[in-house]
A and B are shown apart, each in its own frame.
Chain A
Amino acid sequence: MKEASPAKAYALHLGVIVLLFALSFVLPEYHHGLLARIMVLAVFAMGYNMLFGYVGLLSLGHAMFFSAGLYGAGLAVIHLGWSVPAAFAAGLACGAFLALVIGVLALRTSGVAFMIVTMMFAQVFYLIILYFAAWTGGDQGLVVPQSARVLVLGSTSLGLTNPTVRYMSALVLFSIVLLVTLVVVRSRYGRVLVAIRENEDRTKMLGYDTFSNKLAAVLVSGTICAASGAAYALLFGYVGSTFASVQYSILPLLWVLLGGAATTLGPLIGTLFMYHVVDVTSGYTSAYLLIVGIALILLVLFFPRGILGTIRQRWLGWLP
């Protein structure tokens, strides 16, 4: 690994954030709304990347963390009438708690068993949502009422249904998570995670407690995904069991693989790219899952490093 230059990396990330901010004023309405959604889902992908990219743990169940945030926030608003910040915090708390429990259990396994165990726990979570349809709305889902989606800051109140407010809220969340991941992966802790990915036994031999480091990574990853889910419920006003299905565990994997695993900006690029591919092809065919399937196979076959991973390998060694 080449010596990273901190100034360059931070400048690049701030540049991306400024660019996204500027785009808000020039994008046409449709793409404006789409980009807000992409930023929220890119946060989901960044949370996934934390575990998959840096620790090398391939989970097939991250939809449960996303939907823990989604339902934690959504149900708090719908059934308990909580305010937006309180509901967001509830979503985060649900995700963090679930991540802790799942982490303690699933980290006893590794490799293929870890993938299957996470998939099964996510399946249980999905079935529980269907089983308690009286509260969760089952596979119909629930709509978070517009009147409740108002963020009160001091004396001003911002309606989250307003496109500009929605875009800016998504951008704020995205920026915070992006900078947090950047700081985390450049920290000593981030290096330990990469060391675990490269050779767990050797890291253990060097005196690191790999289990608690991995557990912390699951916790951070799960909480970030929950943040994305909570934001999705509050900004887009819909809570549904589709988001807990296997498909939503596969999608972040696809986005991260496409953008480049273990790159900080890869998740954004992967999400952006995949969304537009689906958007363009849906004009010709309704077979959107076909595109997802073909993309997955082509990526693992010919392009395992993804877009940014390849760029980093060929040209820009300093990319974080």
Chain B
Amino acid sequence: MHFGPHLLLAALEGLVTSAVLALTALGLSLVFGVMRVVNVAHGELFMLGAVLAWAISTAISGHPALGFLAALVLAPLIVGLIALVAERLVLRRLNYNPEATIVATIGMLYIIQQLALTFYGPEARPVEAPFSYRILLPWFGYSGYKLSIIAASALLLVATWFVLTRTKIGLVMRATQYDSETAQAFGIPVDRVYAGVFALGAMLAAVAAVLIVPISQAHYLMGQDPLLLSFIVVIIGGLGSLRGTVVAAVLIGLSDGIISVFFSPTLAKIIATLLVAMVLVFRPQGLFGTASR
């Protein structure tokens, strides 16, 4: 294969990564933006989505698309419910204190990971893709399912953007993000907004996981990389900024796809992590964000 098609393939793979990353990071970014909570267990909620997708799709017999669709609907709902319970039982009692919630979500990370290991086991298991249509390009065939991931993710991102900027719910969320005390004084149920946002963030991660699981397999440690990458995306994009998150996800996904084709993945990770730490040190509002109050 020549260099051009090779690069196109790397770029397509990078776009798939970006699509999933954008959804996961958006969940993290929403939770941080509105609640000021850094959810270290976000990657585990992602993993939980994938594991549930496997469980649901194997429980349903018949055409693979049927099981996949059921997983796409049910897995995020279950993960959202778990997040809701965790929020009510733990985060709310901590008054959303940023440092205490980090420690608590680290605790959740270990609990979810260990439970997944105990009940799901250490194996990596695949989920069958809903369809196996291949699109034939002049140089190579490309999985139609992978392209549909990009489309689905774009659709969900636009929907989230619409809800955030054009609806009453979004207005309430933005008001809470801007100044929770004043929002409370104006009769906004801040407490319930927090619960909803935390569940929504978890559901975005779970949807991303269900979308990716037919091409990557479900495994109990699969939450670690998405967590780190989401952190990177959210920091580069500016904490709590939707547009920044999407731009950064595409940037990171593409460069990750292209760099790991040509260089060692460990080296790529070292450089990326170091660069992001430096961004956080020297430009804490992110590359695209504006300084927060």
Q: Is B7 an interface residue (CB 8 A)?
A: no
Interface flags for A139-158 (1: CB within 8 Å of B; 0: not) read: 00000000000000000000
Complex contacts, A292 vs chain B, CB 8 Å:
107, 110
Complex contact A115–B110 (CB within 8 A): no
Complex contact B111–A293 (CB within 8 A): yes
Select which of A109, A115, A123 is within 8 A of B102 by beta carbon: A115
Give A286-314 interface residues, CB cut-off 8 Å to B.
287, 289-290, 292-297, 299-301, 304
Give A108-150 interface residues, CB cut-off 8 Å to B.
108-109, 111-113, 115-117, 120-121, 123-124, 127-128, 130-131
Residue in A closest to B93 when the chains form the complex, CB atoms: A301
A108–B99 alpha-carbon span in the complex (Å):
18
Interface flags for B254-275 (1: CB within 8 Å of A; 0: not) read: 0000000000101101100110
A46–B285 alpha-carbon span in the complex (Å):
33
A105–B275 alpha-carbon span in the complex (Å):
13
Complex contacts, A115 vs chain B, CB 8 Å:
38, 99, 102
Select which of B104, B113, B267, B273 is within 8 A of A289 by beta carbon: B113
Number of interface residues of B (CB under 8 A): 39
Complex contacts, A120 vs chain B, CB 8 Å:
231, 273-274, 276-277, 280
Select which of B38, B98, B110 is within 8 A of A293 by beta carbon: B110
Complex contact A128–B281 (CB within 8 A): no
A128–B266 alpha-carbon span in the complex (Å):
8
Q: Is A250 an interface residue (CB 8 A)?
A: yes
Q: Is B100 an interface residue (CB 8 A)?
A: yes
Give B59-104 interface residues, CB cut-off 8 Å to A.
90, 93-94, 98-100, 102-104
Q: Is A253 an interface residue (CB 8 A)?
A: yes
Complex contacts, A131 vs chain B, CB 8 Å:
264, 266-267, 270
Complex contact A300–B277 (CB within 8 A): no
Chain B interface mostly: helix
Complex contact A111–B98 (CB within 8 A): yes
Select which of B99, B107, B111, B228 is within 8 A of A123 by beta carbon: B228
Complex contact B114–A105 (CB within 8 A): no
Complex contact B273–A127 (CB within 8 A): yes
Given the known A-B contacts A115-B99, A300-B104, are A108 and B114 also in contact in the complex, defined by CB atoms under 8 Å? Answer: no
Complex contact A116–B38 (CB within 8 A): yes
Q: Is A106 an interface residue (CB 8 A)?
A: yes
Complex contacts, A111 vs chain B, CB 8 Å:
98-99
Complex contacts, B269 vs chain A, CB 8 Å:
127
Complex contact B114–A293 (CB within 8 A): yes
Number of A-B contacts (CB under 8 A): 104
Complex contacts, B3 vs chain A, CB 8 Å:
none
Q: Is A58 an interface residue (CB 8 A)?
A: yes
Select which of A108, A299, A301 is within 8 A of B282 by beta carbon: A108
A6–B185 alpha-carbon span in the complex (Å):
51
For B117, B273, B284, the residue with the greatest tally of chain A CB atoms inside 10 Å of its CB is B273
Residue in A closest to B109 when the chains form the complex, CB atoms: A293
Interface flags for A46-65 (1: CB within 8 Å of B; 0: not) read: 00000000000010100000
Q: Is B106 an interface residue (CB 8 A)?
A: yes
Give A262-320 interface residues, CB cut-off 8 Å to B.
287, 289-290, 292-297, 299-301, 304
Complex contacts, B90 vs chain A, CB 8 Å:
297, 301
A123–B108 alpha-carbon span in the complex (Å):
20
Give A48-92 interface residues, CB cut-off 8 Å to B.
58, 60
User: Shortest distance in angstroms between A109's beta carbon and chain B's nearest beta carbon?
Assistant: 6
Q: Is B287 an interface residue (CB 8 A)?
A: no
Interface flags for B275-293 (1: CB within 8 Å of A; 0: not) read: 0111011101000000000
Complex contact B281–A105 (CB within 8 A): yes
10 residue pairs of the A-B complex, CB under 8 angstroms, read: A58-B102, A105-B277, A127-B266, A250-B106, A253-B103, A289-B114, A294-B111, A296-B107, A297-B90, A301-B94
Closest 8 CB pairs of A and B: A293-B110, A296-B107, A293-B111, A297-B107, A120-B277, A290-B114, A293-B107, A289-B110
> Which B residues are within 8 Å of any A CB, using their own CB?
36, 38, 90, 93-94, 98-100, 102-104, 106-111, 113-115, 117-118, 228, 231, 235, 264, 266-267, 269-270, 273-274, 276-278, 280-282, 284
With A58-B102, A287-B118 given, name 4 new contacts (CB 8 A). A117-B277, A289-B114, A290-B114, A294-B111
